[in-house]
Structure 1
Amino acid sequence: MDMLKQLNSAVMYIESNLCDEVDLDAVARIACVNKDSFTRFFSYMTGMTLNEYIRRRRLTLAAYELQNSNSKVIDIAVKYGWDSADAFTKAFIRQHGITPTLARNSHESLKIYPPASFYIMIKGAKEMDFRIIDTPQTEVYGVSKLFDGQGYKTREELRHIMWSEECDFVPGQICEGCWNQPSNHSYDGVWYGIWQDGKYTIARAKADTKNDALEKHIILSGTYAAFKTECGGLAWEEFPKLFELIFDSWLPNSEYKQKGNLIVEIYHLWTDYDMRNKNRYYEVWIPVEKK
């Protein structure tokens, strides 16, 4: 475990010097290896070069600062190692897809990279599609089950039982038919999975339901941190990965803290097989406030 401690100490050194020159020889000394060995190992473990990781972390912190300060773009650019606003803007657009000026609007989506941390497997250093949104109150209707960590040991187990056609298949209680009927489009669109107050609820907007006996649930208005997966993945694979990145990497290192215990999963689904596998994606929203 000493090796993991040394690797994490090296990452902490990088984090503490992102506004200065990062001495890669010093990084390697902290990790107790030579520079070439450390850079090769880091690239193998994270899928990016050490220099690319440093650049992405600087652009992540720069984005946070743009949204949470009145500092000039050129001042932020210089602070994080760019010689000109033009060079900074080009690098910023490559990572975030928008200009620094647009990023001052906290509703814009950003590509953020939490700090790397080494365990038995690596966490962090993964791209996250992230934005801060202000959303109005939303009424949805669905079916709930209690989650006490006993009857259902994990979130994943309860989620599977409620969504699976082989088990409870709650969607079938909300809409008609089943997923694998190509002509049935009642499942197309947005679904919600809501964790709150010891319950998990699968729900939809009233207009998308076919059952008048469903439980009403209110998603309160407010400020939410919203995270989105790439298209085409499977929910049972994507949500655990996204939860881990949010709660282990993003929250501890962000300007925000979670407000309350609400977690909203959003499923963008299609019945059509080809559309389902190419275009479906998922989101996680958590209510937040500034630390």
Structure 2
Amino acid sequence: MDILKQFNDAVKYMETNLCDEIDVDRAAQIACVTKVSFIRFFSYICGMTLTTYIRCRRLTLAAYELRNSDIKVIDVAMKYGFRNIDTFTRAFTKQHGITPTQARNPYQSLRIYPPVSFHIMIKGAKEMNFKIIETEKIKLRGVSKQFSCTAENRFEQEHIMWGIEQDDYMMRVNKKIPGTWYGIWDRGTYWIAKAEEDACIADTETVYIPEGTYAVFTTNHGGFAGDELPKLRELIFDSWLPDSGYTQAYDYEVEVYHLFTKEEKWKRYYEIWIPVKA
């Protein structure tokens, strides 16, 4: 659709000029709409104002730059359009929950906003809670099944394994649902597992999460895994990964399920771990 291309071209213009003054009139002209229409359409579709989006993108890039270089905080602030370091620090802390200096620590979590792109469904422009971790090898016990799909398309077969085939897999690991569970995709094999001390030894095999560097993403609380994990993975691979400076190290993913009783199901949340290299 031409209108989608025009709006994506307008976003590319803004992305190219995040370190400079962004001319909204020029962006609207690229999108072939009036300035008022461009601002209204953007806010309606993305769920945030254009001004907020531009600020969040600048603060996202500023966080990446502080983490990956020795640039001074004041220089980053000026580069992304903040008049003084105090204004920058307040805005940065409000978005990321940490100060610019703390952001240099690679193990601190950041709240990043990938660039928006317009398709039939809008991608990007959503807050993502992520952190980079270094982990030693983690020993688990679980049961596995060979899937006939790619990592991207695994969730339907996962749903069957966790749900319909629960007695054949999940209940062999531990008959109590609340607690921390792991779903591991390893080049076509999928594991349901728990920490060794929480698993039934007789009916399970040893499986390890390899040591290494992982990007860890966390969902909001209260949702269903079958809804939250596919959405989170799509956002990671369509929006975060292309913009992050990292690549996936190999065809391997870890899902962490933090499950609670029915009375406390609002507490449940999930994580996806992706092995990465810079």
Cα shift at 1:21: 0.5
Q: Give yes or no for the alignment of 1:231 onto 2:221.
A: yes
Q: TM-score, normalised to structure 2's length?
A: 0.97
Matched with 1:285 is: 273
Q: Give yes or no for the alignment of 1:33 onto 2:23.
A: no
Matched with 1:56 is: 56
Q: State how 1:68-79 maps to structure 2 within 5 Å.
A: 68-79=68-79
Matched with 1:123 is: 123
Matched with 2:46 is: 46
Change (3 A) 1:105 1:81: same
> What amino acid sits opposite 1:137 in the alignment?
K
In structure 1, how many angstroms separate the alpha carbons of the residues matched to 2:100 and 2:153?
A: 40
* Equivalent pair of 2:141/2:201 in contact (CA under 8 Å): no
Cα shift at 1:241: 0.6
In structure 1, how many angstroms separate the alpha carbons of the residues matched to 2:217 and 2:196?
A: 24
Q: Give yes or no for the alignment of 1:65 onto 2:65.
A: yes
Give the CA RMSD over aligned residues: 1.4
Q: Secondary structure at the match of 1:100?
A: coil
CA deviation string 1:207-242 (max 9, x = no partner): 111242312111111111000001111100100110
Change (3 A) 1:187 1:70: same
> What amino acid sits opposite 1:28 in the alignment?
A
In structure 2, how many angstroms separate the alpha carbons of the residues matched to 1:43 and 1:231?
A: 25
* Equivalent pair of 1:175/1:211 in contact (CA under 8 Å): no
In structure 1, how many angstroms separate the alpha carbons of the residues matched to 2:87 and 2:248?
A: 35
* Equivalent pair of 2:46/2:125 in contact (CA under 8 Å): yes
In structure 2, how many angstroms separate the alpha carbons of the residues matched to 1:144 and 1:157?
A: 16
In structure 2, how many angstroms separate the alpha carbons of the residues matched to 1:124 and 1:190?
A: 29
Matched with 1:198 is: 188
Structure 1 stretches lacking a partner, 5+ long:
177-185
In structure 2, how many angstroms separate the alpha carbons of the residues matched to 1:104 and 1:64?
A: 9
Matched with 2:134 is: 134
Matched with 1:180 is: none
Q: Give yes or no for the alignment of 1:218 onto 2:208.
A: yes
In structure 1, how many angstroms separate the alpha carbons of the residues matched to 2:31 and 2:46?
A: 16
Matched with 2:162 is: 163
Q: Secondary structure at the match of 1:33?
A: coil
Matched with 1:179 is: none
Matched with 2:82 is: 82
Matched with 1:274 is: 263
In structure 1, how many angstroms separate the alpha carbons of the residues matched to 2:192 and 2:166?
A: 11
In structure 1, how many angstroms separate the alpha carbons of the residues matched to 2:73 and 2:28?
A: 32
CA deviation string 1:62-94 (max 9, x = no partner): 000010000000000000000111100000011
Cα shift at 1:274: 2.3
Cα shift at 1:156: 1.6
> What amino acid sits opposite 1:35 in the alignment?
K
Cα shift at 1:153: 10
* Equivalent pair of 1:173/1:211 in contact (CA under 8 Å): no
Runs (4+) of structure 1 exceeding 4 A deviation are none
Q: Give yes or no for the alignment of 1:246 onto 2:245.
A: no
Cα shift at 1:283: 0.4
Q: TM-score, normalised to structure 1's length?
A: 0.92
Structure 2 stretches lacking a partner, 5+ long:
none
In structure 2, how many angstroms separate the alpha carbons of the residues matched to 1:51 and 1:268?
A: 36
* Equivalent pair of 2:114/2:240 in contact (CA under 8 Å): yes
Change (3 A) 1:38 1:108: same
In structure 1, how many angstroms separate the alpha carbons of the residues matched to 2:156 and 2:275?
A: 24
Number of residue-to-residue matches in the alignment: 277
Q: Secondary structure at the match of 1:63?
A: helix
* Equivalent pair of 2:172/2:203 in contact (CA under 8 Å): no
